[in-house]
Structure 1
Amino acid sequence: MSDYPIYVYKGLLDEQFPFKIEVRTPLNMNRFQHAHEHLQLCYMMSGSCLHWAAGRQYVLTKGDLFSIPPFQEHRLEPRDSMDFEMIQVDFMPHAINESFQDLAQMQTFVDFAYIRPLISEADLLPKMSFPPPTQTVVENLLNVILSEWEEQEEGYRLAIKAELLKLLVITGRQYKRYSQTQSQHERNRVAHHREAFYEAIGYMETHYNEDLHLEEVSAKALMAPSYFSNMLKLVRGKSYIELLSAIRIQASMELLGGTDLNVTEIATRVGYNHISHFNRTFKKHAGVTPGDYRRHQT
């Protein structure tokens, strides 16, 4: 167990629209070590403060954007009594698009916000500094989002989604430019973690008939179990259990339609030790029982 609180997004964000934007200053900063299930992006509008993340201290100044991925412990701290204003954006990926695809396809943003913070080398900061022209664009976007959030007029959710997507696109593009200045070693490290994640998904797709455990598969992804499951939500729209079940049920459908194996044999072949569990899961995914599904295939 961690010695700091981990906030579940449903306790902080609206379940129907898991998004929130706030202005942080020295008067309302969170000075206590904590983590959360959702993604947090913070942009420094003015001034400077200290940010502690994964046991390291970073200095933040105007124009810095930093990412707090799910389950990463962090806190803010004032810097020599300096004033600052920071905009904090909290959201779950499905606040943008229920299919998750819009965000998952932005590889450079995913590398910046989810992959790169995993790599704990001293020279890898969980932040990125925007050049002045981009700062102006980003600050205008954030002010529009703030206004929409505060006024909540008709259509405000759609307006926020549109502006937030623009912000993520700009972030991804800026990170792409920034990554071109990185050392080959750092680029290789980010790519290695990304590839390990997709290889873990591939492992699930080819070993679904085995007794797979989240801890085992997440280790192949070089991620903590909870973080791996959260990344699956981002990329595939399903948690670990949901994705594994979907893979197994898809395989069972192919066997039901293409073989004469009985339902019990099929359940065993796709990784279910109990026929009752298989039947319940199959009906949940397919809407019909395995027997009814087979009859409809003939």
Structure 2
Amino acid sequence: MVHTMSDFPVYAYKEMLDEEFPFKVEVRTPAYMNKTKHAHEHLQLCYMMSGSCLHVTNGRSYVLTKGDIFSIPPYQEHRLELRESMDFILIQIDFMPHAINESLRDLSRMQTFVDFAYIRPLISQEDLIPKMALPPNIQSSVENVLQVIRTEWDEMKDGYQLAIKAELLKLLVITGRQYARYSETQGQQEQREVLFHRKAFHKAIAYMESHYHEDLNLDDVANIAYMSPSYFSSMLRLVKGKSYIELLSAIRMQVAMELLRNSDLNVTEIALRVGYNHISHFNRMFKKLTGITPRDFRKHPF
């Protein structure tokens, strides 16, 4: 579903990517580029194979040249523009984090990549763009990975999804490591800003974990993270592998299971204690997450 944010469309990932394997790779050239300002729910990682063009975001134009790798996080408006009469080839990867591996939904250990792709774009410095100019040896490594990904995507032989997942994970690791080196050369102010936003994000999660019993509002929790609600939700999907509602429900159900195991409270009392005012809603959510009812869980806890 496409919806609008201010004066530009925001594309839902399910409209652009396959829900079972939310990934695609495309080649952008002057003849095949999106000149219209837009945004999308998924993450985009782009690499300039050759030539040069302009990336327009937040009302400013930035020059991209051979060897630049950059991210376009969810809900960030952007578009490409030609730079005079110059040609270019840009490899564009669109994906949702869980495309890598269902069992690897929590990418919190890939902190440097998260900093580069999601947190750094929040920093409001005029000349900042979430891109890096890669040194020649890293360019070669990235181009080799991209070639394998493109071949697997084009041919779609048996096991191609698994092969793409492995190469995509390798690309994220390379990008994260390079950003770690890159950030060492940047000013202390930028490093402090990245750290500030990262801490604010985790503070918001900690707030959910300690105030789960309250009537938590997404807008209020996102404010703790200094993010818009939509951007905060996207960060949660990347770092925790769950939407805001899914994470809040998981926190509540984890506490509910502990109470069912280790207390004499009845199910209604437990439901109220973990933030559910209606027992039917609690029972429904508990069974959705665990596969059994709270009463059956109490009889046979796992």
Name the aligned partner's letter for residue 44 of structure 1: M
Summarize deviations over 1:151-181 as a string: whole Å, max 9, x none.
1111111221122122111111111111000
The yes-or-no answer on 1:57 pairing with 2:61 is: yes
Identity %: 71
CA contact 1:96–1:161 (8 Å) conserved in 2: yes
- For the residues of structure 2 that align with 1:266 and 1:148, how far apart are their CA atoms? 50
Deviation at residue 54 of structure 1 after TM alignment: 2.3
Q: Distance in 1 between matches of 2:163 and 2:298?
A: 46
- Corresponding residue for residue 95 of structure 2: 91
8 A contact 1:40–1:88 mirrored in 2: yes
* Alignment partner of 1:34 is 2:38: yes
Matched with 2:168 is 164
Moved over 6 A (4+): none
> CA shift at 1:230, angstroms?
1.5
Q: SS where residue 300 of structure 2 aligns?
A: helix
Query: Which residue type is aligned with residue 19 of structure 1?
Result: F
**Would you say the 8 A contact 2:58–2:78 is kept in 1?**
yes
> Which whole-Å CA distance do the structure 2 matches of 1:102 and 1:168 have between them?
14
Alignment deviations for residues 23-79 of structure 1 (CA, whole Å, 9 cap, x no partner): 100111100011111110111111111101222211101100110001111100001
Instruction: Name which of 113, 130, 142 aligns with 1:126.
Output: 130
Residue of structure 2 aligned with 1:143, choices 147, 163, 173:
147
Q: Give yes or no for contact 1:100–1:235 (8 Å, CA) kept in 2.
A: no
1:178 to 177, 182, 195: 182
**1:231-255 deviations in Å (ceiling 9; x for gaps):** 1111111111011011111111222
Q: What is the rounded CA distance, in whole Å, between the counterparts of 1:232 and 1:261 in structure 2?
A: 32
CA distance in 2, matches of 1:104, 1:53: 27
Q: Could you say which residue in structure 1 is the equivalent of 2:278?
A: 274
Aligned residue in 1 for 2:10: 6
Counting matched residue pairs gives 298
- Check 1:162–1:97 CA distance in 2 against 1; reply closer, same or farther (3 A cut): same
2-side partners of 1:42 and 1:120: how far apart? 21
- 1:102 Cα deviation after fit: 6.9
Aligned to 1:23: 27
1:101 CA displacement: 4.8
**1:62-113 C-alpha deviation (Å, 9 max, x unpaired):** 1001100011111000011211111101111111111235743211111001
Q: Distance in 2 between matches of 1:27 and 1:104?
A: 38
Q: Using the TM superposition, name which of 268-277 and 203-212 deviates more.
A: 268-277
**Structure-1 separation of matches of 2:184 and 2:126:** 19
> For structure 1, which segment, 205-214 or 253-262, has the greater mean C-alpha deviation from structure 2 after superposition?
253-262
1:44 lines up with 2:44 in the alignment: no
Task: State the distance in 1 between where 2:258 and 2:92 align.
Answer: 47
Separation in structure 1 between the aligned mates of residue 94 and residue 275 of structure 2, nearest angstrom: 37
TM-score (norm 1): 0.96
Whether 1:108 and 2:120 are equivalent positions in the alignment is no
Displacement of 1:270 in angstroms is 0.8
Over aligned residues, Cα RMSD in angstroms? 1.5
- Give the TM-score, by structure 2 length: 0.95
In 2, the alpha carbon distance for the partners of 1:253 and 1:16 equals 30
Match for residue 256 of structure 1 among 250, 253, 260: 260
